[in-house]
Amino acid sequence: MSRPQPALRVVAPDAQEPRGAESPAVLNLDSLFRRYAAYVAAVAHRLLGREEDVDDTVQEVFLIAVRGIGAIRDPSAVKAWLARIAVRVARRKLHKRRLRSYFGLDDPAVYDKVTDSSASPEHKALLSRVYLILDGIPANQRIAWALRYVEGEPLESVATLSGCSLATAKRRIAAASRVLEEAFNE
């Protein structure tokens, strides 16, 4: 006998309901996954830069979400909550990747699929170079910079998603920006 999925009332901005609908969408964990998996995958892809890491990251995020879904008190915060989980999972993966790279166990980085297929070859090469440079900086700086300049998050959101103060988020972004600027000025 299977246990029923807990229901969560969520009003999502991308819900397929007509404007002005009186009742919000009722989501169980399955529909939560269907609704937000693409968003979580996009965040993970931009933070990690490698397509091969995305599926595992999405699965890990939703496994964590299954355990913590009962703690959600504000259903409108589900998307941001999932993004915070994705950032934490990405941070762990980046730490592991850096350690594996240090010991020569990581596969060579290929960042040709970070941009969409319509991007020019110059943009693809530029973004690949940016991600290669980001590979050399600490995960917290990389995440803060990517959230700010790749995801386009406001500074306050970067701090919240990164789990740090606004001042710390600014310092991390500035440090990553300096490394990138130095690399491009060589």
Kindly state the average pLDDT of the residues 168-174: 98
Q: Is 50 exceeded by the pLDDT of residue 145?
A: yes
**Domain range annotation of the chain:** 1-107, 109-186
In this prediction, residue 115 carries a pLDDT of 72
CB contact at 8 A, 130 and 146: no
Report residue 70's pLDDT band, with 50, 70 and 90 as the boundaries: confident
Report residue 30's pLDDT band, with 50, 70 and 90 as the boundaries: confident
148 Cβ neighbours under 8 A, 6+ residues apart: 155, 158, 169, 173
What tokens does 51 get? 């397509």
Fold (CATH) for 109-186: Arc Repressor Mutant, subunit A (1.10.10)
For the ranges 26-40, 110-124, 126-140, the one whose mean pLDDT is highest: 126-140
CB contact at 8 A, 140 and 172: yes
| CA Rg value for the chain | 18
CB contact at 8 A, 169 and 146: no
Instruction: Please name the residue that has the structure tokens 């060589």.
Output: 186
Paired strand residues for 118: none
Q: Is 90 exceeded by the pLDDT of residue 117?
A: no
What tokens does 8 get? 């969560």
Mean pLDDT, the chain, whole residue set = 83
> What number of helices (H) and strands (E) belong to the chain?
7, 2
* CATH code for residues 1-107: 1.10.1740.10
* HSE value, Cβ hemisphere, 13 Å, CA-based, for 28: 5
Q: Is 90 exceeded by the pLDDT of residue 40?
A: yes
In this prediction, residue 166 carries a pLDDT of 97
Helices 78-102 and 155-162 cross at an angle (nearest 10°) of 70
Q: Is 80 exceeded by the pLDDT of residue 106?
A: no
Q: Is 50 exceeded by the pLDDT of residue 97?
A: yes
What does the DSSP assignment read for 28-46?
-HHHHHHHHHHHHHHHHHH
In this prediction, residue 9 carries a pLDDT of 34
Q: How far apart are CA 37 and CA 40, in angstroms?
A: 5
